[in-house]
Structure 1
C-alpha cells in the first residue's frame, strides 16, 4: 500500500511500513507514538507511513459484541483478565493524552480493511485509518455501522458513493489478503509491526524514544548510502 508525501530538498524519502488492525489497542498507542516521533524531526516530511492490513482475529463474528463477550466466546471463563488488561492500556493511553473507551464494540474488521485498501488507491490510507481508529477508541465512532464508517471515510477525504459501492461488494478483498500474506511472509504474527526503510523491523508498540532512535538510524544510514 502507498501514501504520498514530498520529501525535503536534498533528502531521500524513507518509507515506514506499518501492519496494523483497527481494534488493536497497541496499534492505536503505537501509531500515535510513531507519528509523534516522526513529527519531532526537522526532516519529518521525508518519512512516509505506508499502512498495511492485518487481521488479528479473522474468525471474529461480524455482529458486534462487547469486549467481555468476545473474550468469553474465545477463551471461556470470566472476563476479568481482559478487563484488567484493558484498564492497563487505558491508563497508558490516557497518560499520553489519548482517549480510550472501555465500552467500544468488538467485531470482524475485514470490511474495514477493504475500505482501507480502497483508500490507499486514493493516497488516503493513513488519514482514513487514523480517523476511524481514533474515533473508535475515543468511543465516538462505531466502525461496524455502515453509515458511521461512510461518514468517517468522507471526513478522511474519500468519496461517499464509492465507499458505499465497496461496502456493498467484495471489492479489495484480494488486496487485504495479499497484505496479510506479505506480512506473514515477513514473520508478522501480531501487530503493530513496523518495518523501517526495508531495513529493520519492530514488533509490538515501541516507546516514542525507541521510534525516534529507529528513525535516526535509518535516516543516517540512508544518507550514508545516498
Structure 2
C-alpha cells in the first residue's frame, strides 16, 4: 500500500524492476515504464534499478526454441503457444516495438550475474535493457559471452570483466537473493515494479497507470511544467 508521503521537489526516486530476459510482458512493461517517466519534465530524478528474477531456474544452458521451452515446462501445443506469442507481438508492434517470434530460450542465470555487476557500476538497467531489446528484435544472442561483453562495452562497462564473471561463480548469491526479495515483496512472477519501496505494480501496466504511480510516489507535476 502507498504511504501518503511526498518527496521534496527534485529528490531522487528509485524504481526497481524485477524481470527476466525472455519474458515478453517484461519487454513491453519496461518500455511503457520508461515512456511514463519520459512524459514527466522531472524525468531525470527517477533512478531505474534492474533486479533479477529467474522465471525458470531449471532451464537448460543449451538454447532451444521458445516453443520447445514452453511445451517442455508447461505442456500444451506449439500452435497454442505461438498464437499467444502473436497476440503479444501485435501489442508490442502497436507500441512501436519490434518483436521477433524466432527467439531462442535458455538458462538466464549467467546473464543475471552480469546484471549484478552492471548494477554495481550504476548501469544495470541500461545493460539489461540493451540485451533484452537486442534479443526481442532478433539482433543479439544473449547466451553468447562475446555478445554480452560487447553490449557491456557499448553501455560503458568492461567487457573483460564480463568474461571473467561468466567464467566464475561471481554474483550467484545476489541473483538468488534478488528473487527471494522480490517474492517477499509480493512478486509471483514478472514484470514486478516497486516504486520508492512504497508501492508495487505487478504485471505489464499501461503507460497511464505507470504515470499515476509515479505521481503517487513523486508528486504531481504542474501543467505549467508539463507544457
Same fold, TM-score > 0.5, yes or no: yes
Given that 2:148 and 2:162 are in contact with CA atoms closer than 8 Å, whether structure 1 keeps it comes out as no
Structure 2 partner of 1:162: 161
| Matches of 1:204 and 1:190, distance apart in 2 | 8
- Pairing 1:11-22 to 2, within 5 Å after superposition: 11-22=10-21
Greater alpha carbon shift after TM alignment, 13-22 vs 77-86: 77-86
- Pairing 1:1-226 to 2, within 5 Å after superposition: 10-220=9-219
Deviation at 1:10, TM superposition (A): 4.5
| Matches of 1:15 and 1:77, distance apart in 2 | 39
Q: How many pairs were matched up? A: 213
Given that 2:37 and 2:43 are in contact with CA atoms closer than 8 Å, whether structure 1 keeps it comes out as yes
Structure 1 partner of 2:225: none
Deviation at 1:148, TM superposition (A): 1.3
| Matches of 1:97 and 1:15, distance apart in 2 | 26
Deviation at 1:76, TM superposition (A): 3.3
| Matches of 1:61 and 1:102, distance apart in 2 | 20
Deviation at 1:33, TM superposition (A): 0.3
| Matches of 1:10 and 1:88, distance apart in 2 | 41
Compute the TM-score of the two structures, normalised by the length of structure 1. 0.91
| Cα offsets for 1:197-225 (capped at 9, x unmatched) | 1111110000011101111121128xxxx
Deviation at 1:77, TM superposition (A): 4.1
| Matches of 1:195 and 1:108, distance apart in 2 | 25
Cα–Cα, structure 1 residues 194 and 68, in superposed 2: closer, same or farther, change >3 Å? Answer: same
Given that 2:103 and 2:135 are in contact with CA atoms closer than 8 Å, whether structure 1 keeps it comes out as yes
SS at match of 2:193: strand
Deviation at 1:157, TM superposition (A): 1.4
| Matches of 2:55 and 2:9, distance apart in 1 | 39
SS at match of 2:152: helix
Deviation at 1:145, TM superposition (A): 1.3
| Cα offsets for 1:168-206 (capped at 9, x unmatched) | 001000110111111111121100101111111110000
| Matches of 1:156 and 1:104, distance apart in 2 | 23
Structure 2, unmatched stretches of 5+, are: 1-7, 221-227
Compute the TM-score of the two structures, normalised by the length of structure 2. 0.91
Deviation at 1:50, TM superposition (A): 1.3
Deviation at 1:75, TM superposition (A): 3.0
| Matches of 1:76 and 1:202, distance apart in 2 | 29
Please, what is the CA RMSD of the aligned residues?
1.3
